[in-house]
Structure 1
Amino acid sequence: MSKFMMDMLEQPEAVRKLISTSDVLSARAEGLDFDKVLFTGMGASFHAAEVAASFLRSSGIDAVSSEMSEIIAYSSTELIKKYTTIFLISQSGESAELIRFIEDNRALVRRMALITNNGRSSASRNFPDERIFLLNAGNERSMGATKTFVNSIVLMLIIAASKTARQIDFSKLPSRMEEALALDVSWLATLLSEKRERILVARGFGIGVGRMARLMFAEVAKMSLIFYTGAAFRHGPVELLIDRPVVLTLNPTGATHDLMQELHSDISDKCDLITLSNSNNESVETVYISEGLDEVLASIPMMNVLQKTVEEIARKRGFDPGAGVYGTKVTTKE
């Protein structure tokens, strides 16, 4: 069994352990000012943050997610000062950008909170215990993030929900993840291994997951996956259908479910179209998953399906899933 597969199968239990500490996490977040919130990180950490930022915005809280390297190079301290809480997300707590961001903004450390899987990291030494939120994902062996990515989403949503009037029911999530990881995806792996374009389309809370899927295909299977948001796909990229690509969509029930169904209707005869959904009313080939989950959580088991698929593709291509050839688990060079 590959290291990536081992990490993947441990995700449901890692989530169970994390949600069992939700009261502690919520209490720790009480002292954070959510008037204007910035989430920042790199890679998988940044993509996980996109989900929480979107949830907060939909709840009326001013929140943004931004890639840390771009803030370092193209933002000013005066703009960063406008945020009342700055979440730094880093699985390792050692990335080059994270260390530089802290050093460059030393005067703002009191506004920062660190989300990490490593409580003894270089970054952790800059913060008191009450400003460190541990992912508690356990050891992650593979270069491709699995447990830490999902636990990052869940932890940030626990914190975000504690700051809004909205409740998120996490109780069914681990079992839905187990169901996703038990699916036979060999047919999907075969389809996506063909030498033609692979396109993934998502909206809303699925955008961060979709961008993470793009990263995962590169890291694990060493192949490209094109990602577009649902609306953006219509604004030009729809022309890619000329070569009859494989198109995947994430379409949980929610605010834009019907719009995605319209997209399905418009493109289904021009591509091989598969949707991942928790709706029984899809008119195209469907991987039915995430039953009964809130829209903000539904894309997580869908990601599990893609994880299992990409692991199989990597093996088909002769790669050790999750092992880097040119990259490393922790990026220490900016």
Structure 2
Amino acid sequence: MSQSLMAKEALQAPEQIRRQLYENQNTVKDIVARVKMFAPKMVYLIGRGSSDHAGVYAKYLIETELGIPVCAAAPSVSTLFGKTLQLEHALVICISQSGKSPDILHQVKQAKQTGALCLALVNDESSPLAKLVDQVLPLKAGPEKAVAATKSFLCTLSAIASLVAQWADSKELTFGLQSLPAQLEEVVSQAPKLGFNDLKQVKHCVVLGRGFGYAIGRELALKLKEVCGIHAEAFSSAEFLHGPITLVANKLTLLNIEIEDETFEHHKKQIDEVVRRGGQVLTLNINKQNQSAENIYKRFIPLAIMLRFYLDIEGIAQQMGLNPDEPVGLNKVTQTL
């Protein structure tokens, strides 16, 4: 099999994150100084697709580290319903690879008009979005040509973590970021967690995580749809018990995102209940036999799981006879209203 753009770009993620953390040090300090002076009462996240999924990680990290409430935008409220939200005490974080989508730009313009402090996490530093906001935190992911986002998603998570680490003055996050690129490089050399035989007969599946596991679950489900043509939906494992668990009776395949953090024991009980009811569970976690992976900070385990997953499903897609670089009906930049 020839190596796809998707695989090549996913493999670049550790080095791009290393570059990002080094080059953005002063930028992050400047942004946090302005944010602290503004003293936001809430954080309002704007994004579509993978950027929206990265926002779920941001929500969990900001709320657990800073205690500031975070909510996600519904762009059509402003673009189609014509309503302007009152965001004068909000830090608006807009996440975008291209910085070009009309609905994203429209909402940022409205947010600025109501007095919000607007920050863009964007890969294209010359984009309309970068020129519109008050502050820019560059993703530094480098050019990403594959339709399926990989390194830009991981670089978004690391950028969010660097912002929160500085804002919360978190020694754990700061120290964890220092070793993250090297730990991700070791993930690349690990054995796959998913193989062709695991998914070759799967048409529908559910992705289950809790907390930071759920934060990446939506992105993981999206990639199963985009790259492998598998219908996948993500749930918090707690929410799954409130009704959807009845689907397990249909011999449903479930992907279990296993993260050893504060949610681990509760999530495990929920997964055990799924197994008890006959669910076919595939577990995604880090390789604990690897010393570096053993020491990865718990908040960055999601990045390690995602990187390994990207590489695994790229190979599976090719074995299925699919081209991971050309998902049917998709373009790299999607413009919506």
Q: With structure 1 as the length reference, what TM-score do the two structures score?
A: 0.88
Are 1:321 and 2:324 an aligned pair? yes
Work out which of the residue numbers 121, 129, 134 in structure 2 matches 1:115: 121
C-alpha offsets along residues 258-313 of structure 1, whole Å, 9 cap, x if unaligned? Answer: 11221232232412223223596xxxxx9999422222211111111221222123
Q: Is the 8 A contact 2:99 2:129 kept in 1?
A: yes
Partner of residue 275, structure 1: 283
C-alpha offsets along residues 42-65 of structure 1, whole Å, 9 cap, x if unaligned? Answer: 111111121122111112432314
Q: CA deviation at 1:180?
A: 2.6
Cα distance in 1, alignment partners of residues 262 and 117 from structure 2? 33
Change in 2 beyond 3 A, CA 1:196/1:42: closer
Q: Is the 8 A contact 1:25 1:159 kept in 2?
A: no
Segments of 5+ residues of structure 2 without an aligned counterpart are none
Percentage identity across paired residues of the two chains: 20
Partner of residue 283, structure 1: none
Are 1:163 and 2:173 an aligned pair? no
Instruction: Map 1:262-301 onto structure 2 (within 5 A).
Output: 262-269=269-276, 270-278=278-286, 290-301=293-304
Are 1:101 and 2:107 an aligned pair? yes
Cα distance in 2, alignment partners of residues 186 and 232 from structure 1? 25
Q: CA deviation at 1:140?
A: 0.6
C-alpha offsets along residues 94-140 of structure 1, whole Å, 9 cap, x if unaligned? Answer: 11221222344451476111110001112222246xx1111111011
Secondary structure of residue in 2 paired with 1:77 = coil
Q: CA deviation at 1:216?
A: 1.3
Work out which of the residue numbers 14, 26, 42 in structure 2 matches 1:36: 42
Work out which of the residue numbers 284, 306, 314 in structure 2 matches 1:303: 306
Cα distance in 1, alignment partners of residues 196 and 41 from structure 2? 44
Q: Matched residue pairs, number?
A: 326
Partner of residue 223, structure 2: 216
Change in 2 beyond 3 A, CA 1:183/1:243: farther
Cα distance in 1, alignment partners of residues 294 and 43 from structure 2? 31
289-298 or 214-223, larger mean C-alpha shift: 289-298
Secondary structure of residue in 1 paired with 2:52 = helix
Instruction: Map 1:77-92 onto structure 2 (within 5 A).
Output: 77-83=84-90, 85-92=91-98
Segments of 5+ residues of structure 1 without an aligned counterpart are 281-285
Q: Is the 8 A contact 2:89 2:115 kept in 1?
A: no
Cα distance in 2, alignment partners of residues 4 and 289 from structure 1? 25
The amino acid of 1:94's aligned partner reads K
Cα distance in 1, alignment partners of residues 209 and 197 from structure 2? 22
Cα distance in 2, alignment partners of residues 278 and 314 from structure 1? 22
Partner of residue 138, structure 2: 134
165-174 or 49-58, larger mean C-alpha shift: 165-174
85-94 or 310-319, larger mean C-alpha shift: 310-319
Q: Is the 8 A contact 1:53 1:65 kept in 2?
A: yes
Change in 2 beyond 3 A, CA 1:189/1:287: farther
Secondary structure of residue in 2 paired with 1:195 = coil
Change in 2 beyond 3 A, CA 1:2/1:65: farther
Cα distance in 2, alignment partners of residues 109 and 119 from structure 1? 23
